[in-house]
Amino acid sequence: MSRSPKLLPVLVLLGGAVACDSGRHSSAGFRLPLDGDAENGKATFVAMGCHQCHEVSGVDLPKPAVQPSVMVALGGSVAREVTDGYLVTSIINPSYALAAYPRELITAGGRSRMPDYRDRMTVHQLVDTVAFLQSRYTVVPPSRVAYR
């Protein structure tokens, strides 16, 4: 019983830390180096074949050779910043959170059709690819509708 009063402030602080959103950097402390090179990331994106299944807002990429192509769109206008942690997770564990597309188009055997890149990409390539993708997102706050 005496542990509860001491534990409550810790739980409140942890809950507050998790609930706070600090933009592309997660409140849990995940950080990538800030010197990622977007141009190198674009080159890695193409070299790894990501353009076969992904289009990137505002970027001219080679046309996909894979058919049928299901182009999962990346970049563009979003209501909230996309975190580095989300992008890294999507690259190294793509089945963790599937894109908002019809499941039958983006999955095979219940898992993402996208391969994971944890053994295919260096950390440096990962940092550059995230920098490239981050450069293609624009945060646009949702419009407020005035009710009368």
* Burial readout 8-27 (b: 16 or more C-beta within 10 A, e: otherwise): eeeeeeeeeeeeeeeebbbe
pLDDT digits (tens, 9 = 90+) for 55-102: 999 999 998 887 667 789 999 999 989 999 999 999 999 999 988 888
Domains annotated on the chain, with CATH: 23-139 (1.10.760.10)
Structural contact between residues 113 and 106, judged by C-beta atoms closer than 8 angstroms: yes
Say which residue the tokens 């995230």 belong to: 130
pLDDT band at 15 (very low <50, low <70, confident <90, very high): very low
Residues in the chain: 148
